[in-house]
Structure 1
């Protein structure tokens, strides 16, 4: 049998005291890990993105103001222009645009251009010029167009005083 005094002596030998030096080493170790992690993150951030979005920021800002003015003028005209993309054969597709003015009358004599591009893809865009069939209805056929999601950018020029219309639509072309 062991005496109670022997138990407290073995317990005292196995206990570790926390001293000021131990706390200091733990603090230095903790902040060293934090500083190393921050240095790695800063290096990765600066090496992956240089911070330059455009080389011509001033000119782009001026063009943006012009785009805002054109958008307000387009909204004031109150045109209703809708675009659609539908399958017309095995690999061909038809782009169709219907244009109406503020009084719901068909808009005739417009020069309509459609640009089809894949979202987040390096593929070259497909640009087609639409021809007016019925009054206010413009169409064009596109060959070798794959199924899937497309961004359809429409531009229409004409009307009174050379007015312009622009829109961007997300469309899906079935198989």
Structure 2
């Protein structure tokens, strides 16, 4: 005589209810964890108000035309050292090649993907038309080097260049 197997348990309403609640609890829990991770790692917006940015657009176009008419030549060189410090050397010349002195140069390294990693660079004049700066805590990878040159309280030069620092 063959051994008989025990009878399977019947599916009851209680079992279906517990299974359904457990399934949705897992789905909602995973969604909440993913939402929390997405919100805490959001780097922020590029522009706080698109309307304000659009109003300033015409002024930026006019400033770019004036910058092109001046014909200034700015050469930038950035080196990242193994300790994470980056050194910036800028050579600023006018349209005739004469060095520009007495400029207030503002520079910063911006991460294209995370605004929180941006690093301002302290730049000072090192000689006739030569400006130097240094910043610590620069991770390797792609950065945007933003250079602004002010004279007499007006922005006279703006440059944004993608650089790869190893």
TM-score under structure 2 length normalisation: 0.65
Q: Deviations over 1:7-43 (max 9, x none)?
A: xxxxxxxxxxxxxxxxxxxxxxxxxxxxxxxxxxxxx
Which structure has greater helix proportion?
A: 1
Q: Deviations over 1:41-72 (max 9, x none)?
A: xxxxxxxxxxxx97552x43321000000000
Matched, 1:80 2:77: no
Name the Cα RMSD after superposition: 2.1
- Structure-2 change in CA distance of 1:149 and 1:56 (3 Å): closer
| Distance across 2 between alignment mates of 1:56 and 1:86 | 35
| Distance across 1 between alignment mates of 2:53 and 2:116 | 25
The residue that corresponds to 2:106 in the other structure is 113
Which ranges of structure 1 fall in alignment gaps of 5 or more residues? 1-52
Which ranges of structure 2 fall in alignment gaps of 5 or more residues? 1-46
TM-score under structure 1 length normalisation: 0.62
Moved over 3 A (4+): 53-56
The residue that corresponds to 2:91 in the other structure is 98
Q: SS where residue 133 of structure 1 aligns?
A: strand
Shift of 1:122: 4.2
| Distance across 2 between alignment mates of 1:148 and 1:157 | 29
- Structure ID, larger Rg: 1
Equivalent position to 1:149, from 121, 136, 142? 142
Give the 5 Å matches for 1:1-175.
Answer: 55=49, 57=51, 59-88=52-81, 90-158=83-151, 162=154, 164-174=156-166
1:85/1:172 contact within 8 Å kept: no
